[in-house]
Chain A
Amino acid sequence: MTAGTVTRGRSTGTVIRGRSTGAVRGRPLLRTSYAAEQAIWNTPAKRAWTLALVVAVLALPFFLSRDLTSLMTTVFIMAIAGIGLNLVTGYAGQVSLGHAFFMGLGAYTAAVFGGAGDDELVGLGLDMAVWLPMAGVVPALVGLVVAPLAARVRGLYLAILTLGLVFIGEHVFKEARSITGGVGVGRAPAEPVLFGLDLRARYHVFGYILSREAVFYFVCFAIFVVMAMAARNLVRSKPGRAFAAVRDRDVAAALMGVSLRRTKTLAFTISSFYAGVAGALLVVVIGRVTPTSWDLFLSIDLLAVILIGGIATISGSILGAAFVVLTPRLVSELADVVPFISTSPSSGFLSVFQLQTMLFGALIVLFLVLEPRGLYGLWVRVRNYWKAWPFSY
């Protein structure tokens, strides 16, 4: 008994059943197979833009200072964490303020597996091919344990529960000196040696000298691409639809056969994996950090990434990460020019940090009220305006 038996006429709409997978020549938007329509890059414009973007990204380190290259690396890393948060909060609708904890957990897991050990610190000194996946797996397992609790509450209660994670995490990180180095000391991050290749060395490629910052930039970009693609695949298939269903109408979702508990648990687990990997990579860029760095402010930065970038979009998370990482830098450059902004917290009318916090706060409010889809939504509006031009109203 399949629904196929009830079919009457065949559709001749935009989707035409056919063998060929390519677009019909001269009509690039006519899709001749479901696979072509379901593809991520389903229009020539998207393909062209993506290609241009990838080329630009690959060329960038050759033009940027080492310092700015690292900043761009941070964009990729925050984008990974942002995508993770967007999966659980944007797609599955489960607010999480606890992502700073999972990032910290990832960072320390990496440090344990990949860092150098001594009398005071635990460190196994393993390859990045081991510590990077572990930095995802361990937070994912903790996420898996926490998820059943989190799946029972919603809204404000969930926010508070996940906030609790950050406080518990901070406390544990402070006390576990043999793992984290303790307050004010910290520990060196895991060593970025990938398949025996030392990513801290300079390399000569095609006559160019690649700085260690540039090398790590490329590595992080590759990891980011893989994880962004995986997330994109997830949200366009069965689990992603289940996320959205649970977010929009949980009763109806259950009546479709979607298990609420399983779906929420999956969202938490995967998103913790993303956060863990991001945390591990972030400390490699920043260097030694104290255990108190994984605090509420980091969680809020991550929320800013998805709220400013765009809820429930993968590309929005990337835009948001770029915004959140690059704006403070821009503001501090401005501080040299604008008199009342100072770079040190004590002097001047406004410090950079204060200005940045205010700016993010104001933007989050503005976007929530005016364009809940964030920067991504703005982009869609601009695109639709030009598509409809000269009939844009």
Chain B
Amino acid sequence: MTAAPDAALAEPLLDVAGLTLRFGGTTAIRDVGFGAGEGSLLAIIGPNGAGKTSILNCLSGVYRPQEGTIRYRGEDLRGMRPDVIARLGVARMFQNIELFENLTVLDNLMLGRHRHLRYGTLAALLYGGKARRAETENRRVVEDIIDFLEIQAIRGSLVGMLPYGLKKRVELGRALAMEPTLLLLDEPVAGMNVEETEDMARFILDIRGELGVTMIMIEHEMGLVMDIADQVLVLDFGRRIALGPPAQVQRDPAVVKAYLGEAS
């Protein structure tokens, strides 16, 4: 199950240390550290309000942590603007869907291609050879993602009209369209039925298996976490209470006490 931890840990893509985030008086994240090796899948679990989403928000530049370092491919992401971080190849799926509801599925996915479209405003105004070619080429990539996620039939639909499960899938598609190096998933199967959950799990496994994208996934669904994660980070009240392979974390007394014990 675990994809060669020694190879994965040899050269971590992401290395977070001493991360601390405060909102006024409350401390959402307290001195948390973890790493993610190239191509690995790190799961973050913990009770509600433990600070899981806040960690992803720090990684993608939405929140600015007061302390700590976030080393990603040798650069410190801390203090960088979200759009700069996105252009470095960090993509994101949200806990509460954050799609562009007034746009079609295609336009949403094409927005995922934004960082790969290399033509200027003047070219856009003229829509000449360069812009036209770039649009068509990137449209092709988007169509491949549409095929992969099996959402051909809704490509022209306005996203606002779609049911929840499909919206989640489109959001995954938009993140994939960015061709990310690091993919952050915030509860990708929350609120889904069994069938939709299985589909999503299959997509996530395929993305890892075929594209080798490094992933950090927040998930409450323990079965899924135990099945697909290489490493599990357990948070409680903003603190790291365990970090390790799923089997080990599952047996950790602190985890059993703080989280698994009371939750299940």
Contacts and interface: CB of A to CB of B under 8 A. Distances in A.
B178 A251 contact: no
Interface residues of B, number: 58
A4 B136 CA distance: 14
Interface in A244-258: 244-245, 248-249, 251-258
Interface stretch (B112-120, B232-240, B244-252): B112-120
Chain A's interface: helix, strand, loop or mixed, by majority? Answer: helix
Give the residue among B91, B111, B136, B179 with the most A Cβ atoms within 10 A: B111
B15 interface: no
A5 interface: yes
B101 A3 contact: no
Contacts of B101: 248
B131 interface: yes
Contacts of B110: 241
B147 A237 contact: no
A276 B127 CA distance: 23
Interface string B156-189: 1000000000000000001011110000000000
Contacts of A20: none
Choose among B115, B152, B212 the residue with the greatest number of A CB atoms under 10 Å from its CB.
B152
B100 A244 contact: yes
Contacts of B132: 35, 38
Contacts of A244: 100, 102-103, 107
A1 to B, nearest CB: 6
B247 to A, nearest CB: 29
B136 A38 contact: yes
23 contacts: A2-B141, A3-B141, A3-B177, A6-B206, A6-B210, A34-B143, A35-B136, A38-B136, A234-B124, A234-B125, A236-B127, A238-B134, A241-B110, A245-B100, A248-B102, A248-B103, A251-B82, A255-B83, A255-B92, A256-B115, A257-B83, A260-B83, A270-B121
Interface of A: 1-11, 13-15, 33-35, 38, 230, 233-234, 236-242, 244-245, 248-249, 251-260, 266, 270
Given A234-B124, A238-B117, A252-B98, 5 more contacts: A2-B179, A3-B141, A3-B211, A11-B147, A248-B102
